[in-house]
A = this chain, B = another copy of it.
Amino acid sequence: MNPAERKRIYLDHASAMPVDPRVAEFAGWFLTKDFGNPSSLHSVGNAAKKALEDARRKVAELIHAESPECIIFTSGATEANNLAIKGCALRNQSKGKKIICSAIEHMSVINPMKELQKGGFEFSTIPVDSTGLVRLNALEQMIAKDTVLTSVMYANNEIGTVQPIMAVADAVHEKGGILHVDAIAAEGRLPIDVQKEGIDLFALSSNDIYGPPGAGALYVKPGVKIQGIMPGGGQEKGLRSGTENLFAIAGMGEAARIAKLEMEKESARLQRIRDSTISKILKIDGSRLTGHYKRRLPHHASFVFSGIEGESILLNMDMFYNVQISTGSACSSKTLEPSHVLLAIGLRHEEAHGSMVMTLGESSNEDDVPEIVLAVEETVARLRKMSPVR
């Protein structure tokens, strides 16, 4: 078949997601009709303010926050992580200057910590085991009374592993520390209860639950103090200045409402497709699943194939089969460095270039599995024939 005629099979939802048409319709109203500035005192501003608070309530409900007031809207995931990490560490530095995160965090967690390190904080990373789970013993030994902030992601975007957040929270709180959790890979896929799980700060993104790009949120547990990192007009209780992006925020709220309603059924559906895909791909000679087999995101499948590179798989799958996958995080895919996540779970340097990551979503279909598997089989066979290593 001519590749251009093939149906697109998009398996890269972790990199970008289409906006749910219901969300686009709901939020579109705020682009052209109720387009006001929530800080304006007149009726147009009041309508905007109401929409903003409505969205805050819906996001709070998705994660079982104590109240809507715990939600601070940002421009997206990266800013939510920056606000959590820099805002918390700087605000609470009188307690101590140690900050730690797992070795497999997203760069939007690691790099703000490195920035703090340049400013005098002591930064270290918690090792993970070969499945990507944080080593709780190591964590317990590392956390000290002067550890002001610990950051462990809910689930990893490259290998799909879901962390034991409650156990992590216990270890952190025993030393009086604050726990930040990057939820981006897991939100809308797994039921999350920030209160039960002992989460102090929790970063969310709109697009990762089929909301419009341009909104994110940080949950801040009542009593936890942070400071803003974007001074200006003083919106969002002074923690995030800048006129609120009402379109994206209202859309994020609606996406959160829909996710809460539909998550259980949709995650079960995706998990069936995932399991079928994983079991078939693992039959390919020299294939290996990365991450945890059981403690895994329901829409996530990730592999390495001996002797071939992830980037070659990606380009071949796209060009010849119109199947879009990822090789690690899209955010750093244009660098030529091996994945820090794959190195952390113990893969060798040459293996850490070889990852194929599939993230399923609304367009994914059980009927597509044979075509996906065939595309992988043929691609792997073709690349191995060309590879000088074998």
With A39-B15, A79-B230, A324-B43 in contact, do A108 and B242 touch (Cβ < 8 Å)?
A: yes
Contact code string A98-126 (vs B, CB < 8 Å = 1, else 0): 00000000111001101100000000000
Q: Which residue of B lies closest to A319 (CB)?
A: B43
By a CB distance below 8 angstroms, the chain B residues around A381 are: none
Contact B75 A10 (CB under 8 A): no
Asked whether A196 is an interface residue with its Cβ less than 8 Å from the other chain, the reply is: no
A34-69: CB near B (< 8 Å → 1, else 0) gives 011101111111001000000000000000000000
A326 to chain B, nearest CB (A): 7
Range of interface residues on chain A?
Answer: 35 or more
A16 touches B43 (CB 8 A): no
**B17→A24 contact, CB < 8 A:** no
Whether A78 contacts B112 in the complex (CB less than 8 A), given A24-B31, A314-B42, A315-B41, comes out as: no
- Is A379 positioned at the interface, with any CB of B under 8 Å from its CB? no
Which residue of the partner chain, among B31, B42, B230, B311, contacts A212 with CB atoms under 8 Å? B31
Are A214 and B41 neighbours in the complex by a CB distance under 8 Å?
no
Task: Please report the C-alpha to C-alpha distance between residue A255 and residue B230 in the assembled complex, in whole angstroms.
Answer: 26
B79, B212, B324, B329: the one within 8 Å of A75 (CB): B79
Is B35 in contact with A245, judged by CB distance below 8 angstroms? no
Q: Are B37 and A16 in contact (CB under 8 A)?
A: yes
Distance to closest chain B CB from A19 (angstroms): 4
Q: State the oligomeric state as a number of copies.
A: 2
Tell me whether B329 and A233 are in contact (CB under 8 A): yes
Query: In the bound complex, how far is the Cα of B3 from the Cα of A81, in angstroms?
Result: 46
A215–B384 CA distance with the chains assembled, in angstroms: 44
User: Given that A248-B214, A330-B45, A331-B234 are contacting pairs, would A12 and B40 also be in contact in the complex, using a CB cutoff of 8 Å?
Assistant: yes
Q: Are A35 and B16 in contact (CB under 8 A)?
A: yes
* CB proximity to B under 8 Å, residues A243-292: 243-248
Determine the chain B residues whose CB is within 8 A of the CB of A42 once the complex forms: 12, 314-315, 317-318, 324-325
Considering the complex, give the chain B residue whose CB is closest to the CB of A246. Answer: B213
| A348 → chain B closest CB, angstroms | 23
Smallest Cβ distance from A40 to chain B, in angstroms?
Answer: 5
Which A-B residue pairs are the 4 nearest by beta carbons?
A233-B331, A75-B75, A78-B242, A214-B214
13 pairs of residues in contact across A and B, judged by CB atoms under 8 Å: A41-B314, A42-B314, A42-B325, A44-B324, A75-B75, A78-B232, A107-B231, A107-B233, A108-B241, A214-B214, A214-B245, A233-B331, A241-B331
Q: Besides A16-B35, A75-B242, 20 other CB < 8 A contacts?
A: A16-B40, A24-B28, A24-B32, A28-B28, A37-B330, A40-B324, A40-B326, A40-B330, A41-B333, A42-B314, A42-B317, A45-B324, A82-B230, A106-B232, A107-B234, A107-B241, A213-B243, A214-B215, A233-B331, A245-B248
A residues apposed to B, CB below 8 Å? 8, 10, 12, 15-19, 21, 24, 28, 31-33, 35-37, 39-45, 48, 75-79, 81-82, 106-108, 111-112, 114-115, 207, 212-215, 229-235, 241-248, 311, 314-315, 317-319, 322, 324-327, 329-335
